[in-house]
Structure 1
Amino acid sequence: MPLDAAKLFDFDRLFEDLTAEGFGDWAATLKRETAAALSSDGHGSLTTWIDAWTKLPDIAADTIRLDQGAVEATGLISDDERAELRTTLQQFHPWRKGPFRLFDIDIDTEWRSDWKWDRLQNHVELRDRRILDVGCGNGYFGWRMLAAGASLVLGLDPFLLYVMQHEVLRRYLGPSCPNYVLPATDAIIPPRLNAFDVTFSMGVLYHRTSPVDHLKALHDSLKTGGQLVLETLIVDGDARRVLVPEGRYAKMRNVWFLPTVPMLELWLRRTKFTDIRLIDITATSTDEQRSTDWMTFESLPDFLDPADQTKTIEGYPAPVRAILTATGT
């Protein structure tokens, strides 16, 4: 039985909850901007994705597991339904964040996002917390946050494909779960919003032409005493310095600033964060980020110098990522 497209993008509970908590003006802004983003299908892809969503098999999970590496929904389905589901899921290619396992179908995403989660999960308290995840992709981390006890997860990502992937996952992992992905960026965060207990920004800072403005927006999102979890590319060094790539970095056009940890800590202090803690530094490996059947484009092995894996194809230091936490004031 085909699904009803009217069930897509059901954010009313989110807007009602935010309004009940005293953030009605912002909820109205989110509602208006979300509607505008979902109506501006410049390339025509959204219509195709919505049509694919309606063709998902209307099956229900017997068991849902959100607390393990591959977020999973299991249940008895026929071989024909499984084949139909696999074919439809592939129409939402490329799958970058995950992994997921839906009815014995392993969505082997480009990133082993569960490895990143393992590095940070013991350094942040999420139980009964309201969470904002800026640049969330398809919302993989949101499911892990719910498993850790979060009361609400709001993800923001401007790419409609990732919003649609999340809608696919919500269909089987829990349409009523308080885990949302809206088509927006940190630009939608107003000054002194003070709405969230914890805000995540993972893999976003280096894409911003103004990293300080990004950090200011993250600070504005938090309640006083709220916690920031920041993950970003860095360069090695004890001095306060920043690498500004000339042209591309690891074949990416939109990488602007790669700071050392001391410079990143300075940016955080200047944007009114305190209690800054470095909790992890890890070089990204070709086991953690790579092409798969679910993301067939180039990936990290193609971005590195084949003669020297410590350098990008352009000759810059290969990707190294740091995770820091900090407290809003």
Structure 2
Amino acid sequence: MKITFEDILTLLPETPVAKLAEGLPEKIAYGLSEKRWANLKKWIPLVESLPEYGPLDVDLNSHDLAIGKNTPLPESEKQALTDQLKQLTPWRKGPFHILGVDIDTEWRSDWKWDRVAPYISSLKGRHVLDVGCGSGYHCWRMAGAGANLVVGIEPSPLSNMQYWATRHFIGSNNVYMLPLTLEDMPENVGGFDTVFSMGVLYHRRSPIDHLYQLKACLQPHGELVLETLVVDGPEGYSLVPANRYAQMRNVWFLPSCETLIQWLERVGFKDIKVVDVNQTSLEEQRSTEWMHFNSLADFLDPDDVNKTIEGYPAPTRATLVARL
């Protein structure tokens, strides 16, 4: 399989999100530049050399996407495929089942999807944007829910390669990932019926600007699905970590749910609902053989799992759904 963007470049002008195509070839070239990301010199040939098995059975509504579950491989081929896919570690978002190979990712992203899916409008026939989509796991689940077009944007070159590895076995199925940030989107691109921003807001130095940028991607009456870290507190309260939060340097604002609602109202959203609040468990985020670096257990107080190693409240995530 050749990594190419010809299909989405051809498709976009015929969609409500045609403006996304503006300057896109140059943005893709920059996002996947081997001069910027030296590892692409080994990752791209690796992905393009994955074995071909013809059309495979795929269940995009199963927790692990169940790719080729009815096509078991001989043990030697299964081991070879495992070794090849492990060269794309760390795998953080998943899980995936590919031809008998179970990719046990750091995050049980299926648990997040199960918490979010019951509260969003039907995705059937919709044009969907997933901002900061990681490996693209949730993009595939959105396609399984009936979306007409799913575009994931993610600047991480490794995450992009993981998407292309899974797409190699799934086929495109109207799911496309672009190596972009939200700032790379054309101004007021509009056109998307649903926009997801999950696990991004707390990394933004200006959360209000992030919300305005998400708004600019939606068509009138479109829906925003926002998931982010929160803390307890009244309206107007937001925790600003002094340095690191759960060992992450790039965490800027952890608002209360009431503050999040206030921010969304100020930006122009309405019908805002907090649909889920969940403290991340050691079962949902952990080290595995596919992500063998430090994970949540290493970021929490060893004597109190309700606190980070820095003494802040342990990671708790809220999901809000809002409309324009």
- TM-score band, normalised by shorter chain: over 0.9
Aligned residues of 2:19 and 2:189 also touching (Cα < 8 A): no
Q: What is the alpha-carbon distance in structure 2 between the residues aligned to residue 23 and residue 157 of structure 1?
A: 18
Helix, strand or coil: the match of 2:94? coil
Q: What is the alpha-carbon distance in structure 2 between the residues aligned to residue 86 and residue 167 of structure 1?
A: 16
Which stretch shifts more, 39-48 or 230-239?
39-48
Name the CA shift for 1:22/1:323 in 2 (closer, same or farther; >3 Å).
closer
Aligned residues of 1:55 and 1:88 also touching (Cα < 8 A): no
Q: What is the alpha-carbon distance in structure 1 between the residues aligned to residue 20 and residue 45 of structure 2?
A: 31
Aligned residues of 1:56 and 1:84 also touching (Cα < 8 A): no
- The residue aligned with 2:107 is 111
Q: CA deviation at 1:20?
A: 1.6
Name the CA shift for 1:61/1:76 in 2 (closer, same or farther; >3 Å).
farther
Q: Quick check: 1:132 aligned with 2:129?
A: yes
> Percent of counterpart pairs with the same letter?
47
The match for 2:286 among 290, 294, 305 is 290
TM-score scaled by structure 1?
0.94
Name the CA shift for 1:193/1:269 in 2 (closer, same or farther; >3 Å).
same
- The residue aligned with 2:58 is 64
Name the CA shift for 1:34/1:41 in 2 (closer, same or farther; >3 Å).
same
- The residue aligned with 1:245 is 241
Helix, strand or coil: the match of 1:63? coil
Amino acid at match of 1:161: L
Q: What is the alpha-carbon distance in structure 2 between the residues aligned to residue 91 and residue 40 of structure 1?
A: 17
Q: CA deviation at 1:199?
A: 0.2
Q: Quick check: 1:177 aligned with 2:194?
A: no
Q: CA deviation at 1:28?
A: 2.8
Where structure 2 has 5 or more consecutive residues not aligned to the other structure, the ranges are none
Amino acid at match of 1:117: W
- The residue aligned with 2:155 is 158
Amino acid at match of 2:118: N
- The residue aligned with 1:230 is 226
Aligned residues of 1:66 and 1:146 also touching (Cα < 8 A): yes
Q: What is the alpha-carbon distance in structure 1 between the residues aligned to residue 175 and residue 37 of structure 2?
A: 27
Which stretch shifts more, 53-62 or 299-308?
53-62
Q: CA deviation at 1:57?
A: 1.7
Amino acid at match of 1:234: V
Q: What is the alpha-carbon distance in structure 2 between the residues aligned to residue 303 and residue 227 of structure 1?
A: 33
Aligned residues of 1:30 and 1:188 also touching (Cα < 8 A): no
Q: CA deviation at 1:318?
A: 0.3
Amino acid at match of 2:10: E
Q: CA deviation at 1:24?
A: 4.3
In the comparison of the two structures, how many residue pairs are matched?
A: 321
Q: Quick check: 1:121 aligned with 2:117?
A: yes
Name the CA shift for 1:22/1:311 in 2 (closer, same or farther; >3 Å).
closer
Helix, strand or coil: the match of 1:71? coil
Matches within 5 A, 1:27-38: 27-38=21-32
Amino acid at match of 1:45: N
Q: CA deviation at 1:71?
A: 1.1
- The residue aligned with 1:203 is 199
Q: Quick check: 1:312 aligned with 2:308?
A: yes
Divergent runs of 4+, >6 A: none
Name the CA shift for 1:244/1:126 in 2 (closer, same or farther; >3 Å).
same
Q: CA deviation at 1:77?
A: 2.5
Name the CA shift for 1:198/1:46 in 2 (closer, same or farther; >3 Å).
same
- The residue aligned with 1:11 is 5
Q: CA deviation at 1:180?
A: 1.0
Name the CA shift for 1:131/1:137 in 2 (closer, same or farther; >3 Å).
same
- The residue aligned with 1:261 is 257
Q: CA deviation at 1:43?
A: 4.2
Measured against aligned partners, the alpha-carbon deviations of 1:48-85 in whole angstroms (never above 9, x if no partner) come to 10122133222235311110111121214322221110
Measured against aligned partners, the alpha-carbon deviations of 1:151-187 in whole angstroms (never above 9, x if no partner) come to 010000000000000000000011x321111111110
Aligned residues of 1:72 and 1:173 also touching (Cα < 8 A): no
